[in-house]
Amino acid sequence: MSRLTLILALVAALLFAISALVGTAPLALGDTFAALTGQGDERVRIIIWELRLPRAVAAFAVGAALGLAGAALQGLLQNPLAEPGVLGVSAFSALGAVIAIFFGFAAVNSFAVPLAAILGAGIATLLLVFAAMRGARSVTLLLIGIGLSSFAGALMSLALNMAPNPYSLADLVNWMMGSVANRSWADILLGAPGWIIGAALVFLAGPGLRALSLGDETATSLGADPRRIRLLVIGGTSLLAGASVATAGTIGFVGIVAPHIIRPFVRHDPQRLLIPSALLAGIILMVADIAIRVLPFQQELKLGVAAALVGGPVFIWIATRLGRASS
């Protein structure tokens, strides 16, 4: 384990402890520690183990999945602005979840929403990789991503407009705005298979991403199979983004910001970028979730909204820097 990975892991552990303390119900430090060890007042144990810790785990898992997916897509497409949200993958994933909710599939089977979200993410990712294999440049891929996001957004707006009742409308809005509030261990277990399998596929593609950064011909001469690498990344990022949307709805930009911060520390190595990017993205979402819990708003800010408020300007800054570097 590298020093950077160890530091990020320790910061994440500290944030889990802070998450157990922070909330609308004030808890003493001693009571919180006792509850974490399974002792103390039963009410405090319920607040921590059934409300706050599942929420913190969900925020970290979703952030880590999106950070890992962003780092993998950036390595595959050779584009530092690539991530599931910007390229339309998250929007199509959310569209899949919205379709499952709108047509009542979610009420029939608990796996309908995550499966629909993963399917939507897979369709968008396949379109992007097909464009990349046809020689589309970074700007073209970003424009395709914007088009995919706009199209998915239009269809989701149509679903909102035609929602059969206020309850369906509220569910649809929650998925589109992104949140980890009221998430339970069952929600985390539902997304866990997608995260685990998706991460495994991406890590299998890691050495190939390093070779692919030198070009397809060089990668082939080094023994890598570009087609296999693309399939692994497509499958992995689709599962990661789909499970994340199924758990927390649409949350963008974290998959860009984390790899961009980490990249100089790993000497721009696509393989070494994966784990630290996942950890930092998880940390970013945990910090955002802690912040929205303590902000003095009458209604709690949605996590996806908070991520966009911070990530949007950072994305513009990164794009501006890249534009200056290429000119």
Mean pLDDT of the region 8-18: 95
The pLDDT score that the predictor gives to residue 52 is 92
CA distance 235 to 253: 20
Q: Are 52 and 19 in contact (CB under 8 A)?
A: yes
Maximum Cα interatomic distance, the chain, rounded to a whole number of Å: 63
Higher pLDDT: 285 or 214? It is 285
pLDDT at 152: 92
Structure confidence by residue, pLDDT tens digits, 175-201 = 788 899 888 898 899 899 999 999 999
> What confidence tier does 287 reach under pLDDT thresholds 50, 70, 90?
very high
Instruction: List all residues 6 or more positions away from 60 whose beta carbon is below 8 Å from its beta carbon.
Output: 12, 15, 16, 282, 283, 285, 286
| Res. 266: pLDDT tops 70 | yes
Q: How many CB atoms lie within 10 A of CB 80?
A: 19
| Mean pLDDT score, 38-42 | 78
Average pLDDT over residues 123-135: 81
The residues, ordered by sequence, that sit 6+ positions from 8 with a Cβ below 8 Å of its Cβ are 276, 279, 280, 283
Mean of all residue pLDDT scores within the chain = 86
pLDDT mean over 291-295: 87
Q: What's the average model confidence in pLDDT over 21-49?
A: 80
Instruction: Delimit the domains of the chain by residue range.
Output: 53-77+84-326
What is the rounded average pLDDT of the residues 79-89? 82
pLDDT tens, position by position, 217-248 = 778 887 788 878 888 888 899 889 989 988 99
The pTM score is 0.89
For 253, the token pair is: 């930009």
Q: Residue type at 154?
A: A
CATH T-level fold of 53-77+84-326: ABC transporter involved in vitamin B12 uptake, BtuC (1.10.3470)
The residue among 290 and 312 whose pLDDT is bigger is 290
